[in-house]
Chain A
Amino acid sequence: MTWARKILRVNLTSGTVKEEALNMEWAADYIGQRGLGTRYLVEETDPKCDALGPDNKLIFATGPLTGTTVSTGGRYSVITKSPLTGAIACSNSGGFIGAELKSAGWDMIIFEGKSSSPVYLHVQNEVAKLVSAEDLWGKSVWETDKLLHEKHKDPQTRIAAVGRSAESGCLYAAVINDLHRAAGRSGVGTVMASKNLKALVVRGTRGVGNIKDPVRFMNSVAEQKQVLAENAVTGQGLPALGTQVLMNVINEVGALPSRNMQDNQFDGAGNISGEAMLEPRASDGKPNLTTNAACFGCTIACGRISTIDKTHFSVENKPEYWGNSGGLEYEAAWAMGADTGVDDLDAITYTNFVCNEDGFDPISFGATVAAAMELFELGAITTDQTDGVELKFGSAKALTWCADQVATGAGFGRDLGLGSKRLCEKYGHPDLSMTVKGQEFPAYDPRGIQGMGLTYATSNRGACHLRSYTVASEILGIPEKTDPLVSEGKAGLVKAFQDATAAVDSMGICVFTTFAWTLDNMAPQIDAACEGDWTVERLGEAGERIWNLERDYNNKAGMTGADDTLPKRLLKDAAKTGPAEGRVCDLDKMLPEYYELRGWTSGGEVTDDIRQKLSLPA
């Protein structure tokens, strides 16, 4: 085991909750979490369904290692069809609620239909019931969390919720758990709100046990914790500086996009870097960073706990923001900082708090603001739309105003909540949207890191760095150094990363372990814990199967090879400065080779041969 072998099926239309056995044949092929959740979604929904209609389903899935003592073993994913992209959405989160759900005895919750009035699901071990959330609707995630904790008393209760941005239809709303961990991307929170589901409240006191070979398992876990501790990235860089360790590094290699990706380096990078978060500030002598923090079971602890300078304009008269909360991760700091040209650390820490407080994705939000700023500077958006706010690159005031608007869906916040693609279309400049399949880019310029261009173009959930993080190889030399400016060989690299990552995301552990671990380090742990023989080969094959299943879903949703592309800016406009100067992204050289390696048609479709080889559903 350590699958709980139980699913909770919640029909929101009829208000019923029932227990089902987990399909163990599927678990053997798709592991858990991302893979297994996708298998259920594929079986039970039409890929062409309306993402925000009752026919879409919303799946919270843990992995077999979730809730065990394997380092980082607290992950869960939210799987559904994305309202932002129309493709499959699968957003992964840490914190504590995933392990809590497992400890309550459940592998997965499948929400279907739509409730006629706001509800939340309360799970207390084997008892689960829907409860009215009329009094919570219209409240932020943080208020909701507070009220539900007061109501349910037990402080160990874990809560995931959507905020006002999701309720008002922001297309990149997140599910926030444990106050500041997020299933952040692709609008999974928007789907949750569309079902009138406000929150998930979980308390599990049964624990996770049934380890196949306890002695081997505990030894393997201890050994692999040591590997993480001794690695420079997972043992030193991430605990000390968080993912923000990357800000200066990526700027130096000329791959830190700025001003809606017009530039590929940002002068203000140092001011919003991980190092800057350690600098004592003038007003109170305290640094932005208070401490690092771990998710459940994680021995890396890259999480940031931060405060905002009380004298900063964003929080001057708002004592509710003076305490500690979840601080900046690299992608968020890039999107709300470098991409908007804002180098005010307190301002972006404030917008980060607001993203958590009202549940929206800081990457999509920051990138959409950057697009809006470019539209404003072109005159396509004017102060008529923005209540008089000058939406200029570099304006911290404009940025914080935008966050406040999106949080509640007020005024121009509705437009910003559309995401970059729809915003740019609405204001007549579709080319200015820095998106793939409608999802905004994260923090790496594919002109300076070629593999990331292919990563973005072929990612099954639209532009995303977490589907194949070739930055590890191209910049950090993990597991092997490749040249970031060379596109040759990247098709194979991307495929290998995509397949391995799909397996990692399905086990219940964190992808950040892969700075130190490969499947070689994971296989002994899952094999000692779970029934069946789990070899590196089997995990790799499961990863490939999962990747193809997601791709097939997208094909059936109507996507083709034509959707595997990048904005013109990255294909035609050369990088202006730094080591990447003069380069565009050579996507056209990488893509055909990639399709061939995948065994897909030249139009990017999964073939029957591949379906058969990987025993995928028809």
Chain B
Amino acid sequence: MQRSLYIDPDKCTGCLQCEMACSYENEGVFNPSKSRIKVFTFHDEGRFVPYTCTQCDEAWCLHACPVEAITMNKSTGAMEVSESVCVGCKVCTIACPFGTVNYSQDTGKVVKCDLCGGDPKCASACPTSAITYVDADATGLDKMRAWAAKTDSANTAN
């Protein structure tokens, strides 16, 4: 079974535990600026929105890469960047419609979410379940359940 990150911004408090978990897993430091998941604050609206790669099936980044540095991990479904193959040309960062592939000046390569090989640390660090790692075929289940709860047939029958 493949799983996907499912993000529910309504639950997010903006604590950045996810960003720290991500940077620690991938870079060995607690450093939000090195995180592959980003939490955006919309101050006037009072909203926090975590955002990261959704691992497109027909991934623009993968197709755009001239040296085939981006490949799909068959077991997790993640599009992974091979550091040793990547030449840092940044074409994938242009191809990605969502901006979730980014260049790193430190390494001269690109970085993106790779689902931590199937155990995404952001999801386990999140205290509010704003990020969960769920069955890829059922990412809508929670939303459906929430709406189902609002559907009260007894009141609409007459």
Stretch at the interface among B27-35, B72-80, B90-98, B147-155: B27-35
Contacts of A222 in B (CB 8 A): 124
Q: Is the CB of B30 within 8 A of A209?
A: yes
Interface residues of B in 37-67 (CB under 8 A from A): 43-48
Query: Does B103 sit within 8 A of A, measured CB to CB?
Result: no
Q: Is the CB of A324 within 8 A of B44?
A: yes
Q: A293-B48, A323-B45, A324-B44 are in contact. Are A206 and B14 (CB under 8 A)?
A: no
Contact with B along A294-325 (1 / 0, CB 8 A): 11111101010111000000000000000111
Q: Is the CB of A179 within 8 A of B125?
A: no
Q: A69-B17, A297-B16 are in contact. Are A305 and B46 (CB under 8 A)?
A: yes
Q: Is the CB of A324 within 8 A of B30?
A: no
Q: A69-B21, A205-B33, A225-B127 are in contact. Are A293 and B45 (CB under 8 A)?
A: no
Give complex CA distance A218, B24 in Å: 10
Q: Is the CB of B13 within 8 A of A103?
A: no
Q: Is the CB of A205 within 8 A of B43?
A: no
User: Which residue on chain B has the smallest CB distance to residue A67?
Assistant: B30
Contacts of A307 in B (CB 8 A): 46
Contacts of B30 in A (CB 8 A): 67-69, 103, 207-209
Contacts of B34 in A (CB 8 A): 205, 207
Contacts of A207 in B (CB 8 A): 23, 27, 29-31, 33-34
Name A291's contact: one of B24, B44, B47, B125 (CB within 8 Å): B47
Q: Is the CB of A291 within 8 A of B31?
A: no
Q: Is the CB of A324 within 8 A of B29?
A: no
Report A76 CB to chain B, min CB distance, Å: 16
Give complex CA distance A290, B10 in Å: 10
User: Which residue on chain B has the smallest CB distance to residue A302?
Assistant: B13
Q: Is the CB of B43 within 8 A of A293?
A: no
Q: A229-B127, A293-B48, A325-B43 are in contact. Are A299 and B31 (CB under 8 A)?
A: no
User: Which residue on chain A has the smallest CB distance to residue B31?
Assistant: A207
Give complex CA distance A358, B59 in Å: 49
Q: A156-B33, A292-B13, A297-B17 are in contact. Are A69 and B125 (CB under 8 A)?
A: yes
User: Which residue on chain B has the smallest CB distance to residue A210?
Assistant: B29
Report B30 CB to chain A, min CB distance, Å: 5
Contacts of B31 in A (CB 8 A): 103, 205-209
Name A297's contact: one of B20, B44, B46 (CB within 8 Å): B20
Interface residues of B in 114-132 (CB under 8 A from A): 124-125, 127-128
Most chain B beta-carbon contacts within 10 A, residue among A291, A292, A306 = A291
User: Which residue on chain A has the smallest CB distance to residue B38?
Assistant: A156
Q: Is the CB of B29 within 8 A of A301?
A: no
A contacts with B: majority SS: loop
Q: Is the CB of B15 within 8 A of A209?
A: no
Report B31 CB to chain A, min CB distance, Å: 3
Q: Is the CB of A294 within 8 A of B20?
A: no
Name B43's contact: one of A179, A292, A294 (CB within 8 Å): A179
Most chain B beta-carbon contacts within 10 A, residue among A218, A222, A297 = A297
Name B15's contact: one of A68, A218, A297, A306 (CB within 8 Å): A297
Interface size bracket, B side: 20 to 34
Q: A179-B43, A324-B44, A325-B43 are in contact. Are A294 and B13 (CB under 8 A)?
A: yes
Contacts of A292 in B (CB 8 A): 13
Report A332 CB to chain B, min CB distance, Å: 18
Give complex CA distance A298, B13 in Å: 9
Q: A290-B46, A291-B46 are in contact. Are A69 and B15 (CB under 8 A)?
A: no
User: Which residue on chain A has the smallest CB distance to residue B42?
Assistant: A324
Report B17 CB to chain A, min CB distance, Å: 6
Contacts of A206 in B (CB 8 A): 29, 31
Report A222 CB to chain B, min CB distance, Å: 8
Q: Is the CB of B29 within 8 A of A294?
A: no
Give complex CA distance A337, B36 in Å: 44
User: Which residue on chain A has the smallest CB distance to residue B20?
Assistant: A69
Q: Is the CB of A296 within 8 A of B15?
A: yes
Report A205 CB to chain B, min CB distance, Å: 4
Report B44 CB to chain A, min CB distance, Å: 3
Interface residues of A in 183-231 (CB under 8 A from B): 204-209, 218, 222, 225, 229
User: Which residue on chain B has the smallest CB distance to residue A206?
Assistant: B31
Q: Is the CB of B20 within 8 A of A324?
A: no
Report A297 CB to chain B, min CB distance, Å: 6
User: Which residue on chain B has the smallest CB distance to residue A179?
Assistant: B43
Q: A68-B30, A103-B31 are in contact. Are A299 and B48 (CB under 8 A)?
A: no
Report A303 CB to chain B, min CB distance, Å: 8
Interface residues of A in 257-298 (CB under 8 A from B): 290-298
Give complex CA distance A41, B141 in Å: 57
Q: A179-B43, A299-B127, A324-B44 are in contact. Are A69 and B33 (CB under 8 A)?
A: no
Contacts of B21 in A (CB 8 A): 69
Contact with B along A64-78 (1 / 0, CB 8 A): 000111010000000
Name B13's contact: one of A179, A204, A225, A293 (CB within 8 Å): A293
Name B14's contact: one of A67, A218, A294 (CB within 8 Å): A294
Contacts of B32 in A (CB 8 A): 103, 156
Contacts of B28 in A (CB 8 A): 209
User: Which residue on chain A has the smallest CB distance to residue B23?
Assistant: A207
Give complex CA distance A218, B125 in Å: 10
User: Which residue on chain B has the smallest CB distance to residue A290?
Assistant: B46
Contacts of B13 in A (CB 8 A): 239, 291-294, 298, 301, 303
Give complex CA distance A369, B102 in Å: 53
Contacts of A294 in B (CB 8 A): 13-16
Give complex CA distance A294, B15 in Å: 5
Q: Is the CB of A323 within 8 A of B43?
A: yes
Name A298's contact: one of B15, B29, B46, B47 (CB within 8 Å): B15
Report A235 CB to chain B, min CB distance, Å: 9
Most chain B beta-carbon contacts within 10 A, residue among A156, A293, A303 = A293
Contacts of A324 in B (CB 8 A): 43-46
Name 10 interchain pairs, CB-CB below 8 A, sorted by A: A103-B31, A206-B29, A207-B33, A229-B127, A291-B48, A293-B46, A296-B16, A297-B15, A298-B15, A325-B43
- Smallest CB-CB A-B distances: 3 pairs: A207-B31, A207-B29, A324-B46
Having A68-B30, A303-B13, one finds 12 other A-B pairs with CB under 8 Å, namely: A68-B20, A69-B20, A103-B31, A156-B32, A209-B30, A225-B127, A290-B46, A291-B13, A293-B14, A294-B14, A297-B16, A299-B15
Interface of A toward B, CB cutoff 8 Å: 67-69, 71, 96, 103, 156, 179, 204-209, 218, 222, 225, 229, 239, 290-299, 301, 303, 305-307, 323-325
